[in-house]
Structure 1
Amino acid sequence: MKLKNKTLRAFTLIESLLTLVISCFMVIMLSGSVNHIFQSVDETLFFLSFENLYRDTQKLASIKQESQTLQISQDAISNGITSVKIPKTVSVDKNYQLVFDKDGGNSSLAKIQFHTETQAIDYQLYIGSGNYKKTETKSVYTP
Structure 2
Amino acid sequence: MVHLYYDSKTGNVQRFINKVIQITGWQAHKIEESLEIQESGHLVTYTTKLGSMPEKTKMFMDNHADKIYSVTSSGNRNWGRNFGLAADKVSEDYDIPLATKFELSGTMEDINQFIEIIKHQYNDSKRGSKKLDIA
TM-score bucket (shorter structure): under 0.3
| Higher RCO (C-alpha 8 Å, min separation 6) | 2
Q: Which has the higher strand share?
A: 1
Structure with bigger gyration radius: 1
Question: Scaled by the length of structure 2, what TM-score is found?
Answer: 0.27
Q: Which has the higher helix share?
A: 2
